[in-house]
Amino acid sequence: MSASSNCSIVKARYRDRQALLVNNGVLELVVLPGGGHIAALRPIGDADLNPLWSPPWRSMEPKEFRPKRDGAAYGGPPEGRLLASIMGHNLCLDLFGGPSPEECAAGITAHGEAGVATWAPAGMKAGGSGCRLSMRAGLPEARLLVQRTFRTRAGQGMFGVEETVVNQGAWDRPVMWCQHVSLGPPFLDRKRTIFDGSAGGCRTFPQQFDAQQKLKKDQPFEWPSAPNGRGGGVCDLRRMRASGDYGDFVTVGMSDAQDHAWFTAVRPDLGLVFGYIFRRSDFPWLGIWDQAYSRKDAPWNGQCLVRGMEFSTSPFPMSKRQAIEMGSLDGRPTVRWIPAKSRARAVYGLFLVRTELDLSGGIRSIARDAKGVWQAELGEPGAGSVPLGRLRLTRAE
């Protein structure tokens, strides 16, 4: 990928939604003010190479959702409003999972308020050297204010993201904070897409997750070999299952070997490396959610192939009460606390890079070189590395 133009930020329509398009000359990032979703990251001039999931149903602005009118098409509370508007990368805050019955009755949406809030621009700058876009949303029920700032350099295959969450309340607040990154076709292919990450200890979901679940419940395992339920054996999580309808969820504790954590999804046949780098202290868990046509209710209707790569403060999607009562798992926290009238930050980067190197072995590691460029080392020792771009995890660039 080579730079074709100066950087720009423009308002546009994307799948009949209001959008902001951030262009750095080689990549275009699509951000939706309705819900704040990162809907796409795609090479300039090749929109079909977006790794992020675009649901097959019609998308609408979350503020336009009406339960009585739209519930039959998208589902009722607590998921309907979010499903009607979700795309790609959804910020879950301050809940990762479903609300309690009482919270649902009070109007709380699955995965919290951030994914259905209206995000307003809070500053933007674009020029020959790079772009910066800030967006802000208030979460009135949680008494939180959240701001996201996207930064990129011209001609780079990476975007940096800095999130700041302000607790406006007078009480210390436990939050569940998750980057719910969902990949979908055509980039996601059951046989061709290879996943890797900085994995430590792993666990399957503690209860039944899906009616067509394949993995054994509540089992520890070592990456990437997850224990199957009926029939025995293991499933290699570096790829989705090659056939059959199913739904599963596992959590991966991020390796303690370095301060940063990462995951990648590569398509060797396309020469593309996609993924995220983040601070392990911000997000000690990576949830992996597979949905392969098993959900038959609306709006899924048995049509969806999705893999979620969900880096989070919490190991599993669950109620906040459950997360607090769990306290910790395998020595890692299950919530993050923001003191009263205080703020917390998280920094991460997402990248999409093309290479002519052989990606069939996937990615072995990601580290920053002496010049400050993040390099993805290929799966086979000595096979080379793919430069991803520059990103300071202490401050997004």
Task: Give me the half-sphere count of Cα atoms (radius 13 Å) on the Cβ side of residue 137.
Answer: 23
Euclidean distance between CA atoms 295 and 379, whole angstroms: 34
Q: Report, as an integer, the average pLDDT of 65-88.
A: 97
Range of weakest confidence among 182-196, 322-336, 349-363, 379-393 = 379-393
Whole-number Cα distances in Å, 60 to 52, 64, 76, 178: 18, 7, 15, 23
Structure tokens at 77: 């509370």
Q: Can you tell me which residue has the tokens 């259905």?
A: 116
pLDDT on residue 5: 57
pLDDT on residue 2: 44
Nearest to 281 by CA among 215, 348, 366: 348
Q: Over 50: is that where the pLDDT of 348 sits?
A: yes
pLDDT on residue 6: 80
Q: Report, as an integer, the average pLDDT of 236-262.
A: 97
Task: List the beta bridge partners of residue 3.
Answer: none
Structure tokens at 245: 């309808």
Q: What tens digit of pLDDT does each residue of 103-151 get?
A: 999 999 999 999 999 999 999 999 889 999 999 999 999 999 999 999 9
Task: List the beta bridge partners of residue 333.
Answer: 328
Backbone phi, then psi, for 364, in 5-degree steps?
Answer: -90, -40
Burial 308-320 (b: 16+ CB within 10 A, else e): bbbbbbbbbbbbb
Q: Over 60: is that where the pLDDT of 180 sits?
A: yes
Euclidean distance between CA atoms 82 and 61, whole angstroms: 10
User: How many residues can be counted in the chain?
Assistant: 397
pTM here is 0.97
Task: Write the CB contacts of 257 (distance below 8 Å, at least 6 apart in sequence).
Answer: 198
State the CB neighbour count (10 A cutoff) for residue 8: 14
pLDDT band at 189 (very low <50, low <70, confident <90, very high): very high
Domain 8-351 has CATH 2.70.98.10: yes
Q: Report, as an integer, the average pLDDT of 42-66.
A: 96
pLDDT on residue 352: 98
C-alpha gyration radius of the chain? 20
Residue with the larger pLDDT of the pair 116 and 380: 116
Structural contact between residues 65 and 81, judged by C-beta atoms closer than 8 angstroms: yes
Q: Report, as an integer, the average pLDDT of 77-93.
A: 98
Q: Over 50: is that where the pLDDT of 10 sits?
A: yes
